[in-house]
Structure 1
Amino acid sequence: MNKKNIRDIVILGGGTAGWLTANHIASHYKESIAAGNLSVKLIDSPDVATIGVGEGTVPVIRETLKSFGISETQLLVQCDATFKQSIKFVDWTYNPSEKTNNFYHHLFEYPHLGNDSINAFWLQNKDICPDHYASCVSIQHDICEANLAPKNIQIPEYGGIVNYAYHLDASKFTELLKENAINNLAVKHTHAHVSNVKLSSDGYICELELLNEGVVSGDLFVDCSGFEGKLIKKTLNGSFVDKSDVLLCDTALAIQVPYGEHEKIIKPYTVAHAKKAGWIWDIGLTTRRGVGLVYSSNHINEESAYKELAKYLGKEPVNARKIPMQTGYQKEPWLKNCVSIGLSQGFVEPLEATGLLVFDMTAKILATKLPINFNEMQNIAKDYNQQVGAIWENIIDFIKLHYCISKRDDTQFWLDNRDEANIPDGLLQKLKYWHTHIPSQFDFERTTDLFKLENYLYVMYGMDFEIDRNAIAQRYPSLSSATAHISKIQQASILAMKSLQGQRDLLIKIKQHGLGKI
């Protein structure tokens, strides 16, 4: 077996993760597939429904879709998609009763810092600076607050005045990926239930027995079967790294909400509204909103959770779908000749739209690292597992950051999140260091980190992270250039907004005329 080439790749699961993986591999090896040297087949079961909640994305998805050959116009129209430029965090920093204007933006546009003097100036002069850190370092803050789109109709597909991603209908997005993989990338598709998984004498997967559809053999199997983990968990008994002691939310309630008759504005950002034992997401598509409550069942019971969501929506009762969440990831996402991607690989709560981000990134890594033969698979798998494990740890640290630096103390949920015993050691050490130092790029040494300096700056300073002002003043005594830099950003913001319009108006134009090709 060691000398055998990898020719037949079998993907189990037809959700977003499965079709993302199929598109990544098939687009990366398009010529090899055309020459008959490689085959990609996806099997999905008619009995398994997809979760279909991940409706938020991050900007890297634009590069991914462009590499697949998918038109941005098609995406926007077919998936009821809207532009997303930020996550707006409401009531995360202080108790709602303590401070008005209690929100901040984690923008997608990189902060325009020039150097550390901008951060140092803002930290020492909050009383004379704009209310929000993000408005000091980017024009996108004002664009979001004005509910404007990130581009105009003259800008070609996948281009914009500022960086952006999308809100989209997850089920329709999966269908778009499916159509592209089958029609444009020669991915084979079988709709059948897997009745049995056959292993070789050395424990590798060799065949999937299908109910009434025969047998499918393969060389490399990708498990995208969701939380079930039919291959990685049930067949190969992979080990799970549980992180529920760090991230306390373990349940979600999800619901689709139609727009009101006079509801014209589509917000160009996700709203993440903190509550007593979790938070509520609010995402605007073209035809509806996607809303849900993420909460800790150890801090609030199910009945109270439904009432919390009903109060937010202003109606009762609420017919929401309950989704249990197991936080953590596979210790070995690549085990023997099986690679888990999607919910079978790992999951953390949907804050910061990490779901589709990890699906996309790990599928791309797999496509790039695809072994030629079995002889090299073990070493590639070891490297893959190290990279993916580091990705998950980076994500978990970043999500925890939002909770542990909050000044909220109104419920036990927030007190438990602030408890140092529940904070990962690496993150805790960095927070102590950043109390007297401005974060720098050298604090994020891994190339696989999905959340780096700019992300931490928006969250930390948006949440009024406590710093030693005297220590900062000693390091940065002269800040004369900062005010001019901030002024330029504010002037640029005014000019940019004059060329932009509201989301709904732009999306109507795109549906009528389409965007120009690159």
Structure 2
Amino acid sequence: MQQPIKKLVILGGGTAGWISAALTKKLLGAAIDVELVESNEIGTVGVGEATIPGIKILNDVLGLNEAEFLRETQGTIKLAIKFENWKNKKHSYYHSFGTAGKSMAFCHFHHFLKRAGELEDDTKLWNYDLNALAAEEGKYAHIRHKDPILEMPYAYHFDAGLYAQYLRKFSEKMGVKRTEGTVASVHQDQQNGYIKSLELKDGRLIEGDLFLDCSGFRGLLIQQTLQTGYEDWSHWLRCDRAVAVASERFEKTLPYTRSIAHKGGWQWRIPLQHRNGNGLVYNSAYYSDDEATNLLLGNLDSKAITDPKVIKFQTGRRYQQWHKNVIAVGLSSGFLEPLESTSIHLIQSAVVRLVHLFPHHGINASTVAEYNKQSKLEFEQVRDFIILHYHVNQRTDSLFWQEMRDMAIPDTLAHKIELFKQDGRLFRDQNDLFTESSWLQVMLGQGIVPASYHPMANTMSAEQLQAMLKKIKAIKREPLSAIPSHDEFLKRYCG
């Protein structure tokens, strides 16, 4: 459609809608008009309360004050995810945002640990990871140090509903128009099928040149109107439901997310300043909705303060996340369970991708194809990383975990696992959201120990190796004594 894009219409509020509004208006400014249509009658899923470090880039680009943001969203700091009972029952490990040890030229730190024999004990890697050490002690502070070995990357937990409200106020100040109303019908161009306008129940017409579908699982534009189709990944990611509930604030605010495996799924615990977010992701063949609800309610740290909410989903992705003049953002574009807290990041990256490829002079096939190619690759890379957690488990207590271990997996993932099993080789695919450190922590945490190590780890004597490891471990632990508890940090920083 070769006509200039002057008007962007966003259907749906919530986190997806208001991130889209804030970013597009901030980055594209007066070049476009942005109108967001949402209805108070339609609720949002609202369980995405944990994030990954990319959220800091989003907030920085928007120019948000971090202390104010934490106050407004009742946010907390997230250093890691603690996986409990995933390898087997009673076992736990961290997937932290930090990097263990110290970067070596052409040779990852874990090869030196393997040579020293410490990699056989899967707790040792995290003794060299400041994020994991601080998480274990429940501590956090902003560390400003010139030595990159002491970097402590972090993300946030926050109330997704409050974040959407915060971004709404921010967006409206920049000139985003919010329209309250429910869509009654969608009008298309009879020649090319492009969306022309949304007709609300009261008869108002919302016209636009480009539409973002942030309508959640309904996919009102991308699927119900354009019939784009959906690629089902439930043969790999077999959980198909979640039950969520909020509970009272726990007495100690942990600086990490907890992911606790059960016989037919896994449970999240997310600490906020005013409450805890809780949920159970499960396979309906193993738990009924009532059984899942009772299991979740019986495993809370604090008293429930909302009614449990069951959410049905199908893992997978839209075949085309940009189709005609509609781009699906958020749940309308696909769903990957929140095991690695990627939901909000996928919203963010979808909008950033649109900004990079924004069709100012009109939509053309090559732009749409590039957007869809990048979106597909990103979803597949995140999919593989999530499958990894399930597939390399060692649990024998339920058929669910045995089936996940025995199932066929994507060739891309099988290749990555085999490379690491041989001699610890890890390579980050182009644009992969997850670094070598992330893949390393999950593979080791789930019990995969490489058979050998790279010969570059033999370039120093045994005495030099032990001295180096001792020094790095001491450097990593040194800041801990001066770092306050996470709760003390929040009290001082947020006021």
Is TM more than 0.5 here?
A: yes
1:51-107 deviation digits (Å, cap 9, x = unpaired): 1100001111011111112111111101100000000111111233xxxxx211111
The correspondence for 2:344, drawn from 339, 353, 356, is 356
Counterpart residue type for residue 472 of structure 1: Y
1:428 aligns with 2:422: no
Query: Alpha-carbon deviations, 1:209-232, whole Å to 9, x = none?
Result: 122251111110110000000000
Question: Counterpart of 2:142?
Answer: 151
SS in 2 for 1:450: coil
Question: Hey, what's the Cα distance between the residues in 2 that align with 1:457 and 1:419?
Answer: 22
- Gap runs ≥5 in structure 2: none
Q: Which residue of 2 aligns with 1:49?
A: 43
SS in 1 for 2:114: helix
**Number of the residue aligned with 2:113:** 122
- Equivalent residue number for residue 99 of structure 1: none
Deviates more, 1:396-405 or 1:474-483: 474-483
Contact 2:122 2:445 (C-alpha < 8 Å) held by counterparts: no
Per the alignment, residue 233 of structure 2 pairs with 243
Cα distance in structure 1, aligned partners of 2:262 and 2:242: 13
Residues 116 and 465, structure 2, Cα contact 8 Å, conserved in 1: no
Residue 64 of structure 1, aligned match among 58, 61, 66: 58
Query: Who is 2:69 aligned against?
Result: 75
Q: Runs of 5+ in structure 1 lacking a partner? A: 97-101, 513-518
CA distance in 1, matches of 2:254, 2:8: 41
CA distance, structure 1, for counterparts of residue 225 and residue 389 of structure 2: 36
* Structure 2 SS opposite 1:233: helix
* Residue 391 of structure 1, aligned match among 363, 367, 378: 378
Q: Is the 8 A contact 1:120 1:476 kept in 2?
A: yes
**1:9 and 2:22 correspond:** no
- Picking from 140, 150, 160, the partner of 1:170 is 160
Secondary structure (helix, strand or coil) at the match of 2:478 reads: helix
Whether the 8 Å contact between 2:73 and 2:159 is mirrored in structure 1 is yes
| 1:269 is aligned to 2:256 | yes
Distance 1:361 1:411 in 2: 37
Distance 2:108 2:345 in 1: 32
User: Whole-Å Cα distance in 1 between the matches of residues 302 and 80 of structure 2?
Assistant: 27
Distance in 2, Cα, partners of 1:346 & 1:507: 34
CA distance in structure 1 between the partners assigned to 2:268 and 2:212 by the alignment: 31
The 1-side partners of 2:119 and 2:335 are apart by 42
CA apart distance, 1:473: 7.3
1:259, CA displacement in angstroms? 2.9
- 2:289 alignment partner, one of 302, 316, 323: 302
Report how far residue 136 of structure 1 moved: 4.1
1:124–1:410 Cα change, 3 Å:
farther
Q: 1:439 aligns with which of 425, 430, 442?
A: 425
Percent of aligned pairs sharing the same letter:
31
Q: CA RMSD in A?
A: 2.3
Deviation of 1:122 (Å): 2.7
Task: Report the Cα distance in structure 2 between the residues aligned to 1:511 and 1:452, rounded to whole angstroms.
Answer: 31
| C-alpha separation in 2, matches of 1:457 and 1:484 | 23
- Give the Cα separation in 2 of the matches to 1:128 and 1:249: 32
Q: Deviations over 1:426-458 (max 9, x none)?
A: 111221222113233xx33322x2123121011
Distance 1:213 1:509, change over 3 A: farther
1:515 matched residue in structure 2: none
Q: Distance in 1 between matches of 2:219 and 2:255?
A: 35
CA drift at 1:482 = 4.1
Letter of the 1:342 partner, please give it.
G
Question: Aligned partner of 1:7: which letter?
Answer: K
Worse overlay, 224-233 or 200-209:
200-209
Match of 2:245 among 246, 255, 266: 255
Q: Are the structure 2 counterparts of residues 28 and 436 from structure 1 closer, same or farther at C-alpha, using a change threshold of 3 Å?
A: same
Aligned residues between the structures: 485
Q: 1:217 to 1:473 in 2, by over 3 A?
A: closer
Letter in 1 for 2:34: V
Match of 1:209 in 2: 199
Q: TM-score, normalised by structure 1?
A: 0.89
User: CA 1:251–1:378 in 2, change beyond 3 Å: closer, same or farther?
Assistant: same
Partner residue in 2 for 1:233: 223
CA shift at 1:389, angstroms? 0.4
* Structure 1 residue 106 corresponds to structure 2 residue 87: no
